[in-house]
Amino acid sequence: MSEIEEKGYREMVVAQDDAQVDTWAADLFIDFAKRIGVGTAIAAFCTATGLDARGFQRAFLVGGGPDHVVGIDTAGSLAAPIFELPKAIAGLRRIDPDARQKLVDFLVEHREVMSYTA
Tens of pLDDT along the chain (118 residues) come to 346 688 999 999 999 999 999 999 999 999 999 988 999 999 999 999 999 999 999 999 999 999 889 988 888 889 999 999 999 999 999 999 999 999 999 999 988 876 554 3
Predicted local distance difference test score (pLDDT) of residue 48:
95
Predicted local distance difference test score (pLDDT) of residue 91:
97
Predicted local distance difference test score (pLDDT) of residue 49:
97
- Single-letter code of the amino acid located at 41: A
User: Rounded to an integer, what distance in angstroms lies between the CA atom of residue 92 and that of residue 81?
Assistant: 18
Q: Judge if pTM exceeds 0.75.
A: yes
Q: Positive or negative, the Cα torsion across 99, 101, 103, 106?
A: negative
State the number of CA atoms in the 13 A half-sphere of 73 facing the CB: 13
Report the residue count for the chain: 118
> DSSP letter at 52?
-
Q: Where are the alpha helices (DSSP H) in 15-66?
A: 18-36, 38-49, 53-62
Predicted local distance difference test score (pLDDT) of residue 82:
94
Predicted local distance difference test score (pLDDT) of residue 3:
60
